[in-house]
């Protein structure tokens, strides 16, 4: 059975367009798989534990994240 995971388009990811430079997807990931070192920095996505819930997709105002089957 294929599993789902988040895929980030880093050319669309612009955290400076989020809430005071803080990636909105970071705060909604139930597994805390998205980390941002400082405001306005591009977050790191650790997709190995991602279950494809889509919370990050809905939170991203730039539509830089999508869920794919792997």
pLDDT in tens, 40-68: 999 999 988 899 999 999 999 999 999 99
Number of domains making up the chain: 1
- 3-class DSSP state of 68: strand
CATH of the domain at 65: 3.30.70.20
CA 27 vs CA 2, 43, 50, 55, 70: distances in Å? 27, 11, 15, 10, 25
Q: What percent of the chain has pLDDT over 90?
A: 83
Specify the pLDDT at position 26.
95
* Domain residue limits at 22: 4-69
Q: Evaluate if residue 31 carries a pLDDT over 90.
A: yes
Specify the pLDDT at position 17.
87
Specify the pLDDT at position 47.
84
d(CA 60, CA 66): 10
Contact 4, 52 (CB under 8 A): yes
Average pLDDT, the chain: 92
d(CA 31, CA 62): 21
């Amino acid at each position: 059975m294929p599993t789902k995971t988040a895929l980030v388009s880093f050319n669309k990811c612009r955290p400076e367009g989020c809430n005071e430079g803080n990636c909105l997807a970071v705060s909604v990931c139930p597994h805390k798989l998205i980390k941002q070192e400082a405001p306005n920095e591009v977050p790191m996505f650790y997709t190995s534990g991602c279950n494809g819930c889509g919370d990050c997709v809905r939170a991203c105002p730039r539509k830089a994240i999508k869920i794919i089957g792997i």
